[in-house]
A and B are shown apart, each in its own frame.
Chain A
Amino acid sequence: MIETIGSLVQETSNRFRWLLSASLYTVACLGTAMLLGAILSVLGHFIRTWFHGAAVYASFSLAGAWLVGLLAIAYALSDVGLLRLPRPTLRQAVPITWWRWWRPYGAALAYGAALGLGVMTRIPFGAFYVLCVWCFLKGDATYGALLMGTYGALRALVIFPASWGLYCHRTAIIEWLSSPLFSQWRAQRVLAVALIVFGTLVLVSAVFS
């Protein structure tokens, strides 16, 4: 991913244009990720409000915690290939044509906005879906925006060292990014462990609440 986007947002002719493109990409990615978190949380909040006063309200949080816990464990197993689970997305990849049409600044904004949403490319990490459900369950727009903002920020900020590296030492950086350190399988294993710790914690908290 970074090899593709890094090349797309870099502006080889001018450092200022590179910085501006990469910054626009970052702002757009962060913005849409925060928006996604806030929207999911607001939706969750509305459902909580709708249930307010009803007998089922008390069990909403508990059922939600069970759902998130089980979902986290299931997606951890799915990430390491032990279980097959659906991974809904809107697209498989962002279109290359955006670069031809709107480069450099419009394309940087468009790629940032699309990738910040998360569902515009294939999703090999189940943690993304678990985070979305967690935002929905929390029902707090600020929390949701901060949580998905963390995802968007980290996703976008990687562009600076990577695209700068591509700009200065293209071959070396591409070789380095193709090294086992950046293997998807390795990342899936690490995320599966983090996801299962999170799932177990949420489940046990729900059991003893």
Chain B
Amino acid sequence: MISLRQRLQCLPELCGGIAVGLLLALIIRISSGVSHTAVILAAALPFLLAALTGVAKSTTA
């Protein structure tokens, strides 16, 4: 059972995730597609999510 304290300890990680998402969106917006790395990273993000979900479901659930 995960305690409330453990759950709340995740908040900084989640805030970090929001900051990374914002930064990525900002880079893409400012560079207007010039920064290929950011665009590729944004396009690859759903695939990364899919890969992580697949591995996580097999190895843990």
List residues of chain A with CB under 8 Å of any chain B CB. Answer: 1-2, 5, 76-77, 80-82, 118, 121-125, 127-128, 130-131, 134, 146-148, 150-156, 158-159, 162, 177, 182-185, 187-201, 203-205, 208
A191 pairs with B56, CB closer than 8 A:
yes
Point out the residues of chain A lying under 8 angstroms from B59, CB to CB.
Answer: 1-2, 158, 162, 177, 182, 187
Closest to B14 in A: A196
Interface secondary structure of B, over-half rule: helix
The interface on chain B, measured as residues whose beta carbon lies within 8 A of the other chain's beta carbons, has a size of 37
Point out the residues of chain B lying under 8 angstroms from A152, CB to CB.
Answer: 54
User: Residue B51 contacts which of A123, A151, A182, A203 (CB distance < 8 angstroms)?
Assistant: A151
Please list 8 pairs of residues, one from A and one from B, whose beta carbons are closer than 8 Å in the complex, sorted by A's number: A82-B11, A155-B57, A155-B58, A158-B55, A185-B6, A187-B59, A192-B14, A192-B17
Point out the residues of chain B lying under 8 angstroms from A187, CB to CB.
Answer: 56, 59-60
Q: Which of B6, B13, B14, B26 has the most CB of A within 10 A?
A: B14
Q: Nearest chain A CB to B20's CB is how many angstroms away?
A: 5
Complexed CA–CA distance, A203 and B21 (Å)? 9
7 more contacts with CB within 8 A, not counting A127-B52, A191-B56, A192-B17, are: A122-B61, A125-B61, A127-B50, A158-B59, A192-B10, A200-B21, A203-B21
Complexed CA–CA distance, A125 and B45 (Å)? 16
Closest to B16 in A: A193
B29 pairs with A80, CB closer than 8 A:
no
Closest to A200 in B: B21
Complexed CA–CA distance, A208 and B29 (Å)? 8
A148 pairs with B50, CB closer than 8 A:
yes
Complexed CA–CA distance, A100 and B59 (Å)? 23
A81 pairs with B25, CB closer than 8 A:
no
B21 pairs with A194, CB closer than 8 A:
no
Closest to A198 in B: B45
Q: Nearest chain A CB to B54's CB is how many angstroms away?
A: 3
Point out the residues of chain A lying under 8 angstroms from B57, CB to CB.
Answer: 1, 118, 121, 123-125, 128, 155
Point out the residues of chain B lying under 8 angstroms from A5, CB to CB.
Answer: 58
